[in-house]
Copies of this chain bind each other. A is one copy, B any other.
């Protein structure tokens, strides 16, 4: 009667949501300051002042009918020009406004690109750990997700495993760097190796294999790490960008797709993106927030707090004996579950009022995700609990 796979999908309560709601219950019981909730990936710093200033300026001074009216489906031309100029200056690319399509954030960027390029039985490679919604988005296109296990401990790409996974059905590869949930950033060398391999395979199979880069965490990197801009390394690239984390606007749903101008038949690729957006019901991204982006193009939220949190959490947890992946970016610490069972470990953590997320749904059983997009004080206050949890395994 109803679409069965979607009924099922709609009924699955996300594990993260369950933990979040347990947290709220527990906070009511013992006081919010005594519960250490590290479950949610919601930015903990406000949007920069420039965002609110831009909104107020637009509302007060921009013609209402134009401000809140439809933009063209691919986004306002002036906004796309501003974004193209910004990208070109920063990454030395030659992107035109008509290579850019404004979207309602990263999830819609991904569904639009997947619908534009993936057909039934095509395969899309992702690397563990990966955002589980990739599978949800791909399923509706009839394509198949193929998970390639990353290297142990470092969670860098296992090039042999990657090569073995590519076959003639491979249509796309998703790169999510900085990675949710591992925080890993791929180096230039890694990217070059991956792209060389893909070019070789494109020739071998006689059709393009697209790189889809999922980049909501691009701006969240620490220690002067460079995140390679994929369009400069590989022609058949779609960039899926979002301002959710960069400007702390996750609920406003604003981002964009770049279709590399060097892609084979780039005009068709862009048309497929426009067609997919239309078929999925995306009329245009919020007209007001498009213009907010235009005004705040080179600003970010104050993300320095995330580095403070990362250092505090990483240094203390490794010292306590936890095995942690060193996160170059994003706002997650990826930690091996003591005792190896992530669910058991998270249950035990709850006894110490620590709310962590088992990473099984990211394709990496035995690991947990700790979101450090929280107040620094929460980390400081939680350290004794982390210590007790570790000790309970070291007895």
Contacts and interface: CB of A to CB of B under 8 A. Distances in A.
Given A105-B283, A276-B3, A65 B46 contact: yes
Interface size grouping (class) on chain A:
35 or more
Given A111-B281, A279-B136, A10 B104 contact: no
A42 B55 contact: no
Interface string A226-257: 00000000000000000000001111110000
Contacts of A274: 9-10
A133 interface: yes
Nearest to A105: B283
Contacts of A68: 47, 51, 248-252
A108 interface: yes
Interface in A176-217: 207-208
A333 interface: no
Identify whether the interface residues of A are mostly helix, strand, loop, or mixed: helix
Interface string A5-23: 1111111000001000000
B64 A252 contact: no
Given A68-B250, A252-B68, A272-B7, A1 B265 contact: yes
Given A117-B3, A289-B286, A107 B10 contact: no
Nearest to A103: B281
A100 interface: no
Interface in A60-93: 60, 63-65, 67-72
A378 interface: no
Interface in A93-113: 104-105, 107-112
A217 B47 CA distance: 35
Interface of A: 1-3, 5-11, 17, 42-47, 51-52, 55-56, 59-60, 63-65, 67-72, 104-105, 107-112, 115-119, 133, 136-137, 139-140, 207-208, 248-253, 264-265, 268-276, 278-289
23 contacts: A3-B117, A5-B275, A7-B271, A9-B275, A10-B273, A42-B69, A42-B70, A47-B68, A52-B59, A52-B64, A65-B248, A69-B250, A70-B251, A104-B253, A104-B283, A115-B140, A133-B278, A136-B278, A137-B281, A251-B284, A253-B283, A253-B285, A286-B286
